[in-house]
Structure 1
Amino acid sequence: MTNHIGVVEDDTNIQNIVSAYLKKEGFEITVMESAEQAWELWETQPPDMWILDIMLPGMDGYEFCKKIRQETDDVPIIIISAKDEEFDKILGLELGGDDYLTKPFSPRELVARVKRVFKRANVKDGETTDAGDKLKAGNLLIHQGERRIFWHGVEQDVTTKEFDLLYLLAANTNRAFSREELLVKVWGEDYFGSDRAVDDLVKRIRKKLTAVPLETVWGYGYRMRSDEVEQ
């Protein structure tokens, strides 16, 4: 089954370039010029991924991203924007973006990031997983193959990066990871954003999983504390 990507961009040239490159890779593309049009698509034929501009007429990309995340954490969102300040990138990621690409960008880089995000989300066509691969750290249960998180026995809605960070820390309980290490392991070696993205991701996780034993190692990074680990 072909992955469907919704491209929300009001610049015609960028629309054409992004569509051409992604269609060449076999993706189904729907292009929209506004967040309002995108919301109509969401309610009728939800895409498997959004590629989202920030500076849009009417509702901006930040507000649209926020609305989508109120509905689901399962659909990846890649933000593309001319806004290149650190604050803008952090805000986009904090609101639930899975990646942030600054204009002008290489279409090939965008394609690579799309494939990587799909792979991490385990929605790539033909991909198989081992549903029996489970990890338990205290009250946190993670099904790696199914990419499902349970906290005190209740399944939680988490984003791709929230899952990746939780799995990494739970698989290495009591080991401290620096923010720089977490950036490389969760965002990838080609991510050039601030390590504040790690802090914002941890803040979102703590908000969802109250009292999760995800400890701050002051001046360094984070670790998952657990007295009982089963694998």
Structure 2
Amino acid sequence: MTISLLVVEPDQTVRDQLRAQLQMSQIAMSVLYSAAQLMNRLELECPSAILIRAEAPMQGERDALRRLRQAGYEMPVFVLSKSDEVVDKIVLFELGADDYIVDPVDLHELTARIRRAVQRANRTLCDAPEMREKISFGDYEIDFATRRLIRNGAEIALRSSEFALLKLFARNPMRLLTRPMVNSQLGRSESQNNSLDVAVCRLRTVIEDNPSSPKFIQTLRGRGFMFVPSPKQNEERPVIVRDRDSRGCAASALHLLQTAGLA
């Protein structure tokens, strides 16, 4: 599994030290200098985890963390700070931080914490039942607690990988999900784009009346995918341009499977 870490750190020396350690731990690192730009950056990439440098008064970091969680992003967030004040820790935990690390920290320990948190987050996303409200789209209903897809009272059989993909889409309605975002959230490497095409194609075959002209899982050419849970009849579909991922999905599924070594 490829882990990507977005590091919000203004100090170049610290960034260089982190990069060297992360490379040895096979964790890819991208950089942002200020938490104020975090939400804009997440429109371009969806890292496995985020590490934010926060120093008093931490207002910018608090605002960024609040907006991130309100927007529905659920990746692990680590806060690194020289402050050992309990009130700082409590406030950031309440805003959605997963871990608060007092600097200086041993970089081996830091990378171990990151790896463990990402593994746990991916396992929760893909495998664990969730006590959350059911989601309906079209004639379908997703039961997160029992991990079932139901249509008009009948259960629809899904592979575990298909359910994980559907759950990711359903939890992010009307939001652009780029290929790197999907791969990262499902714990896949970016080199697995071809097998992602296969997974999307399989899922469309299950839930779409016409997989070649999908209503629910729509493709934005050159950008990624968007889940549209309730397309209205006779309404023009928003911002959708078919490309090779949606055109002739059913007809090309076997070719994709063969290419990916799955058939």
Cα offset for 1:151? 3.9
1:117 equivalent to 2:117? Answer yes
Cα offset for 1:36? 3.0
8 Å Cα contact 1:54-1:61 kept in structure 2? yes
TM-score for both structures, normalised by structure 1: 0.53
Counterpart position of 2:61: 61
Moved over 6 A (4+): 56-59
Counterpart position of 2:12: 12
- For the residue of structure 2 that corresponds to 1:50, the secondary structure is strand
Cα offset for 1:122? 2.3
8 Å Cα contact 1:34-1:57 kept in structure 2? no
Separation (CA, whole Å) in 2 of partners of 1:56 and 1:12: 19
Separation (CA, whole Å) in 2 of partners of 1:2 and 1:152: 31
Superposition pairs for residues 1-231 of structure 1, below 5 Å?
2-55=2-55, 60-122=60-122, 146-151=127-132, 153=134
- For the residue of structure 1 that corresponds to 2:131, the secondary structure is strand
* Paired amino acid for 2:116: R
- For the residue of structure 1 that corresponds to 2:119, the secondary structure is helix
Counterpart position of 2:166: none
Deviations along 1:73-124, whole A, 9 cap, x unmatched? 421101111121111111111110111100111111111110111121126x
8 Å Cα contact 1:9-1:56 kept in structure 2? no
Separation (CA, whole Å) in 1 of partners of 2:125 and 2:12: 40
- For the residue of structure 1 that corresponds to 2:43, the secondary structure is helix
- Structure 1: 5+ residue stretches without partners: 124-142, 158-231
Distance change >3 Å, CA 29–CA 57, structure 1 → 2: farther
* Paired amino acid for 2:74: D
Separation (CA, whole Å) in 2 of partners of 1:61 and 1:39: 12
8 Å Cα contact 1:10-1:56 kept in structure 2? no
8 Å Cα contact 1:22-1:29 kept in structure 2? yes
Distance change >3 Å, CA 24–CA 150, structure 1 → 2: same
* Paired amino acid for 1:147: A
Cα offset for 1:59? 6.4
- For the residue of structure 2 that corresponds to 1:60, the secondary structure is helix
Separation (CA, whole Å) in 1 of partners of 2:114 and 2:125: 21
* Paired amino acid for 1:21: Q
Distance change >3 Å, CA 57–CA 46, structure 1 → 2: farther
Backbone CA RMSD of aligned residues: 2.9
- For the residue of structure 1 that corresponds to 2:7, the secondary structure is strand
* Paired amino acid for 2:98: D
8 Å Cα contact 2:36-2:61 kept in structure 1? no
- For the residue of structure 2 that corresponds to 1:30, the secondary structure is strand
8 Å Cα contact 2:80-2:103 kept in structure 1? yes
Cα offset for 1:39? 2.6
Larger Rg: 2
Separation (CA, whole Å) in 1 of partners of 2:81 and 2:58: 16
8 Å Cα contact 1:148-1:156 kept in structure 2? no
Deviations along 1:10-52, whole A, 9 cap, x unmatched? 1222111112111221111101111133332211112111001
